[in-house]
């Protein structure tokens, strides 16, 4: 089962049986130097393994558990950092937007505008993102059924843009827990858009430590393998060189030293899954 829509984000093709791609990077821009280091290391690994990559990092995490938490450097400095990464490392870049007014200036730098899960039904935000012409990654809300994501995508289409990615990041299961329904990938792919599995946020325990989220990173690999076996087009992973010191979402981040080994497994599994699908 392949996504019908195919388009390119920089040198990354997606949809319609394009190669598996990865969206990877730290949760938030911690500093210019850290972002550049992470982008260079991740791009080097992806080039060695042969998996196309989009670098991600947020200039503002506007929905942190606590108002005391680090949010990021802000839009102006964040876009300066992302522009430098894009120009020096030569990879497409992705970041979140939270307000309609941010869409146009962010699209002047970034290849993909990401709609946070908690904002995936915000019509004005979706329309503003769609009008930029940049690719738009809509994260499925923790409160949303996969069937409902067609309505969110339709808002982007109504803005004249079909470069849409739908991302699964788990569904609320009681308090402070998420589960991933593997049926979600097939349901969303039938809507005709590339589907991504945000595997690191799927192991997040929202607000579990009181003023910050917890996580179960030991389940990143088995969930990633399951999602690839289910036929996703891409995998989203927040990766950090030192998760214990990360300024945001370190509890559910993949350690950088584990990235290459996991990527190689996912690449082999993708080839095997597509071979089975072709029979």
pLDDT above 90 (res 183): yes
* Radius of gyration over every alpha carbon of the chain, rounded to an integer in angstroms: 17
* Strand stretches in 15-115, DSSP E: 21-25, 53-56, 93-96, 112-115
Question: Which residues are 198's β-sheet partners?
Answer: 236
pLDDT tens digit sequence for 69-91 = 789 999 999 999 999 999 999 99
Mean per-residue pLDDT, 99-117: 98
**pLDDT at residue 64 in the model:** 67
Lowest mean pLDDT among 20-34, 123-137, 208-222, 226-240: 208-222
Q: How far apart are CA 78 and CA 215, in angstroms?
A: 26
> What pLDDT band is residue 102 in, cutting at 50, 70 and 90?
very high
Residue 103, helix vs strand vs coil: helix
CA pair distance 44, 193, nearest whole angstrom: 28
pLDDT band for position 2 (cuts 50, 70, 90): low
CATH class of 7-278: alpha beta
**How many beta carbons lie within 10 A of that of residue 58, not counting itself?**
26
Record the pTM: 0.95
pLDDT tens-digit map of 228-239: 999 999 999 999
Task: State residue 187's pLDDT score.
Answer: 96
User: Mean pLDDT of all residues in the chain?
Assistant: 94
């Amino acid at each position: 089962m392949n996504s019908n829509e195919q388009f390119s984000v920089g040198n990354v093709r997606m949809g319609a049986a394009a190669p598996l791609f990865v969206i990877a990077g730290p949760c938030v821009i911690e500093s210019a130097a850290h972002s550049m280091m992470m982008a260079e290391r991740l791009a080097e690994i992806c080039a060695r393994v042969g998996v196309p990559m989009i670098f991600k990092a947020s200039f503002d995490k506007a929905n942190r558990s606590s108002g005391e938490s680090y949010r990021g450097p802000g839009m102006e400095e964040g876009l300066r950092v992302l522009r430098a990464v894009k120009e020096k490392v030569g990879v497409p870049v992705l970041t979140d937007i939270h307000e309609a007014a941010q869409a146009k200036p962010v699209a002047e730098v970034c290849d993909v505008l990401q709609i946070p899960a908690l904002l995936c039904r915000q019509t004005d935000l979706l329309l503003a993102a769609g009008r930029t012409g940049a690719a738009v990654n809509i994260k499925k809300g923790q409160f949303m059924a996969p069937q409902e994501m067609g309505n969110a995508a339709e808002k982007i289409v109504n803005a004249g843009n079909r470069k849409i990615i739908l991302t699964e990041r788990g569904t609320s299961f009681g308090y402070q827990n998420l589960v991933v329904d593997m049926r979600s990938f097939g349901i969303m792919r039938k809507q005709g858009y590339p589907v991504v599995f945000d595997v690191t946020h799927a192991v997040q325990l929202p607000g579990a430590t009181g003023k910050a989220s917890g996580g179960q990173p030991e389940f990143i690999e088995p969930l990633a393998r399951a999602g690839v076996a289910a036929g996703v087009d891409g995998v989203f992973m927040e990766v950090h060189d030192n998760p214990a010191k990360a300024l945001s979402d370190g509890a559910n981040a993949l350690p950088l030293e584990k990235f290459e080994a996991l990527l190689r497994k996912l690449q082999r599994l993708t080839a095997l899954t597509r071979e089975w699908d072709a029979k």
